[in-house]
Copies of this chain bind each other. A is one copy, B any other.
C-alpha cells in the first residue's frame, strides 16, 4: 500500500481525488489537508465519503504525516509552486493539478497567469500528464503537471488530426464546460440564478487554457499553431464538450478521419472514438469520447469528458498509477453513467 497525501482536500479536485482513491486497491489516503476544516472528520465535511475514509481528519499540513509515498497538490495556481520544491527535495513523487508546472517556457506562464514563477528549477522536470500521448515519460517522472480540463478535451480531439498534417494548424476550439470546472468558491458567474438557465461565454481570448492547448498542438504539429479558444459556461455540473474546427489542407474522406482516430485510440482504455459523442456516457468516469465529422473542406472534432475525472482528478490518478508502476487502470476501471 502506497501512502498518499492530498494538499487541498476541501476543493472539488481534492474531494474528487479522495472519492477515487478511497476505493483504490493499492493506495491509502494518509493525509488530507485543509486550512478551513483542519481537525474535522473528513466524512463529516464530505458526507459522501462516509464509510470510505474511516476516521480520517483534515490536517493543517501534510508535514504532520510521515512517510508519504506520493502527494497530489490540489491547490490554486501560485500555491502549488510553494509546495512542490519541498516534495522534490524529500524525494516524494508528486502531481500538481494546477497550472503551475504545465509550461516549459516560464515566460508563457508569467504572461498568462500574471505573476512570477518561483520554482523555475522544477518546471523543467515536470512532465505533461496526458497518458494517451506521453505515457512513457510519465512513467519515469517525479513530477507531473496534470493537464487542464478544457485542454484535455481539446487535445484529445485535435492531436490525432494535427499530427497527420492533414489539417491547418489554425484551430478554433469552441468549448463548453459544466460549472464544477470553476471550482467551489461561489462567484457571481456561477451563482445559479446567473448561470442556471443559459450558456455564458467568458474569458474570451483570455482563458489560461489557450496557451496550454497551443503548446500541445505545437508538439504535434511540429510548427507553431494558433488556437482560438472560446470557453462557455453550461448549466450542468459535470462535463465538457469541446467542438474543434479545422480546415483541410488536402482532400480527405470521412473514412480517412475515422481511421486516423481509430488508429490513435483503438487500444486505449479511457479514450474512445465514437460516432456521436455523449457527456452522459462518460460522466462520473475517467473515460473520454472523441468524434469527428467532415463538413465540406472543414472538419469538426468533438472531445467530451467529465471535467473532474478525466479532466482533473481521474487523470491525475491515471498518472499516479503510471508513476508508481501500477496498472494504469487501477481504481479507475468503471464505466460512465450513461443516463
Q: Which residues of A contact B (CB under 8 A)?
A: 12, 15-16, 19, 22-23, 46-52, 172, 174, 176, 178-180, 182, 184, 186-188, 190-201, 204-205, 226, 228, 230, 232, 234-239, 241, 243, 245, 269, 272, 274, 276-285, 287, 289, 293-298, 300, 302, 308, 333-339
- Given pairs A12-B339, A196-B196, 16 additional interface contacts (CB within 8 A): A48-B281, A48-B285, A48-B287, A172-B172, A184-B193, A192-B196, A192-B237, A196-B235, A198-B239, A198-B279, A201-B277, A201-B302, A205-B294, A228-B295, A230-B300, A234-B235
A87 CB to closest chain B CB (Å) equals: 26
* A298 cross-chain contacts in B, Cβ below 8 A: 172, 228
A158 CB to closest chain B CB (Å) equals: 15
Closest 7 CB pairs of A and B: A186-B186, A205-B295, A48-B338, A48-B281, A179-B192, A174-B174, A198-B279
* A199 cross-chain contacts in B, Cβ below 8 A: 176, 234, 236, 239, 241, 279
**B201 and A337 form a contact (CB under 8 A):** no
**A335 and B49 form a contact (CB under 8 A):** yes
* A302 cross-chain contacts in B, Cβ below 8 A: 201
Instruction: List 11 A–B pairs whose Cβ atoms lie within 8 Å, in order of A's numbering.
Output: A19-B338, A184-B339, A192-B192, A197-B283, A199-B234, A205-B293, A228-B300, A232-B241, A234-B235, A235-B236, A334-B334
* A300 cross-chain contacts in B, Cβ below 8 A: 204-205, 228, 230
Q: State which of B186, B237, B276 has its C-beta within 8 Å of the C-beta of A188.
A: B186
* A272 cross-chain contacts in B, Cβ below 8 A: 47, 50-51
Residue of B nearest to A329 (CB): B51
* A238 cross-chain contacts in B, Cβ below 8 A: 337, 339
A22 CB to closest chain B CB (Å) equals: 6
A175 CB to closest chain B CB (Å) equals: 10
A215 CB to closest chain B CB (Å) equals: 16
A224 CB to closest chain B CB (Å) equals: 12
A311 CB to closest chain B CB (Å) equals: 13
* A176 cross-chain contacts in B, Cβ below 8 A: 176, 199, 232
**A193 and B235 form a contact (CB under 8 A):** no
**Most chain B beta-carbon contacts within 10 A, residue among A16, A51, A308, A339:** A339
Residue of B nearest to A306 (CB): B337
**A174 and B243 form a contact (CB under 8 A):** yes
CA distance A48 to B306 in the complex (A): 13
**A191 and B192 form a contact (CB under 8 A):** yes
